[in-house]
Amino acid sequence: MKITIIIILFITLSSCNNRRDKINRQSNFDYSGVESYFRLIESISVNGTFSESEWIDFLNVEGNRLYIEENNIPEDYLDNIKENIIKVYASKNFDDNEDIVYKIRNSFRKNDSIYREHLKFLKNNEQILLDSMIARTIKFLPDHRLLNDSLPKLYYHALDHDGSANGKGIFISIMAAHQNNSRRLSNFESHEFFHIQRPDILEHVKIDSIDQGIIWALNAILDEGIADMVDKDVMLADNSDWWLKEMVNDFYVGKSKDVISNFNTLIIDETNGKHHSENDYREAFLGSVGHVPGYSMAKLITDKGKSREMIDNADDPFSFFILYNDIASENPEEYPHYDNVAMQYVKELANKYGK
Ligand SMILES: [Zn+2]
């Protein structure tokens, strides 16, 4: 008995050690975007503004530079952020304003001490956050397994209120990190980590140019749909004083019926030889990548008790589409669905490219 316990303990400890060896904590976290922001606003508090060279230095720290490059943030949007930073921090009071860029800056100013505290919290809890991120994410991956052992670098910034993942790592606003972590640790990091770790049956498949648009679309709704199941539940469960709930209810859910109807029309066009581009589908999804209609589709599948089937096939965009439509078609009055012609076309694509 005692030997068994020692062996189990040894295996547990050695696997922890292995994991620690693989995770270089210092190189996995980058806070340069947030720290440089605090330097920038300190300059405003002293001088009432900041110089052009201070702004350029701010944009050029690694966390900001990569975030801007990887997300193709346009220059005029950065100028808009700059103007709003000066406007908000130079102001004596906390004016409210409907402009989203202004609202984000106002939140940064109002909650300055909270975000500074959160930065400290992240620095002191890197390992716990990584472990929590892995544990949450694997629940949404086929066989509950990571695709690979390599962990992305995590960059925290203060430029916006968003998160993204790509080949360079995960980029998260400290504002969004705080709002998520105060509800469930690593919540937003897990959403982004899911994108990186999700296997994709089409990764090494050559897609004919005429099919590239629709394949992008099918993959995008699966990718954002399931990723939204990772993090949105706790965010919607409370009445927090911010606008995510509004966005999900009004946009993700509110627009999903129309978007599914338009998507259906575009698929029927494909059956008639009119092939649409990735951009056409991006527009049809209202610039949401795949959140609309992916969130509503994944939510219905989950609510109907089929999440296990959805997750086991998280590598397969055709299965996701077919699974959703089978459920929605059972109650066509209540749920938006794709018609038989569209369904048949997706099944043909599955035969051509699927597993
Ligand atoms: Zn996402």
Per residue in 156-195, pLDDT (tens digit) is: 999 998 899 988 899 999 999 999 999 999 999 999 999 9
In a shared domain, residues 49 and 189: yes
Is the pLDDT confidence value at 19 over 90?
A: no
Q: Are residues 83 and 114 in the same domain?
A: yes
Answer whether residue 6 shows pLDDT above 80. no
In a domain, 18, yes or no: no
CA of 236 to the centre of ligand 1 (A): 16
Q: Is pLDDT at 21 greater than 60 in this prediction?
A: no
Average pLDDT of the chain, as a whole number: 90
Choose the final residue of a domain: 164, 197, 230: 197
Of the candidates 197, 232, 250, which is a domain's last residue?
197
| Residue 155 and residue 88 in one domain | yes
pLDDT at 299: 98
- Residue 44 falls inside a structural domain: yes
63 lies in the same domain as 166: yes
pLDDT value at residue 8: 32
pLDDT of 227 strictly over 70: yes
The verdict on 116 and 239 lying in the same domain is: no
Q: Are 351 and 200 in contact (CB under 8 A)?
A: no
Residue 46 confidence (pLDDT) above 70? yes
Q: Is residue 10 part of a domain?
A: no
| Residue 19 falls inside a structural domain | no
Residue 98 is predicted with a pLDDT of: 76
Half-sphere exposure of 184 (CA within 13 A, CB side): 19
Query: With pLDDT > 90 as the criterion, what percentage of the chain qualifies?
Result: 79
Ligand 1 centroid–CA 223 distance in Å is 7
- Residue 251 Cα to ligand 1 midpoint, Å, equals 15
**Quick one: 171 and 241 in the same domain?**
no
The residue-averaged pLDDT of 306-330 equals: 97
Contact between 37 and 115 under an 8 Å Cβ cutoff? The reply is no
Q: Are residues 49 and 118 in the same domain?
A: yes
Of 6-15, 304-313, 333-342, which gets the smallest average pLDDT?
A: 6-15
pLDDT at 214: 98
Are the C-beta atoms of residues 214 and 349 closer than 8 Å to each other? yes
204 in any annotated domain: no
Same-domain check for residues 32 and 177: yes
Mean pLDDT of 202-229: 97
pLDDT recorded at residue 240: 63
Does the pLDDT of residue 89 top 70, yes or no? yes
Buried b (16+ CB within 10 A) or exposed e, 290-325: bbbbbbbbbbbbbebeebeebbebbbbbbbbbbbbb
Cβ contact 217:263 at 8 Å: yes
For residue 50, give its domain range: 25-197
Q: Are residues 273 and 339 in the same domain?
A: yes
Nearest to 109 by CA among 153, 36, 56, 158: 158
Instruction: Provide the number of structural domains found in the chain.
Output: 2
7 in any annotated domain: no
Does 298 reside within a domain? yes
What would the DSSP string read from start to end of 222-264? HHHHHHHHHHHHHHHHS--SSSHHHIIIIIIITTHHHHHHHHH
Q: For the residues 286-297, what does the mean pLDDT come to? A: 96
Q: Which of 139, 174, 197 is the last residue of a domain?
A: 197
Higher pLDDT, 73 or 22: 73
Domain annotation covers residue 263: yes
Alpha carbons 119 and 164: distance in angstroms, whole number: 19
**Given this model, what pLDDT does residue 276 score?**
98
Q: Same domain for 156 and 216? A: no
- Ligand 1 center–CA 89 separation, angstroms: 31
185 or 25: which carries more pLDDT confidence? Answer: 185
pLDDT score of 16 more than 60: no
User: What's the mean pLDDT in 58-68?
Assistant: 97
How would you classify residue 201: left for phi > 0, otherwise alpha for psi between -120 and 50, otherwise beta?
alpha
CA-closest candidate to residue 296, choices 339, 333, 271, 327: 327
Alpha carbon of 229 to ligand 1 centroid (Å) = 10
Residue 15 Cα to ligand 1 midpoint, Å, equals 30
| Same domain assignment for residues 114 and 249 | no
Distance from the alpha carbon of residue 156 to the mean position of ligand 1, in angstroms: 16
- Whether residues 221 and 342 share a domain: the answer is yes
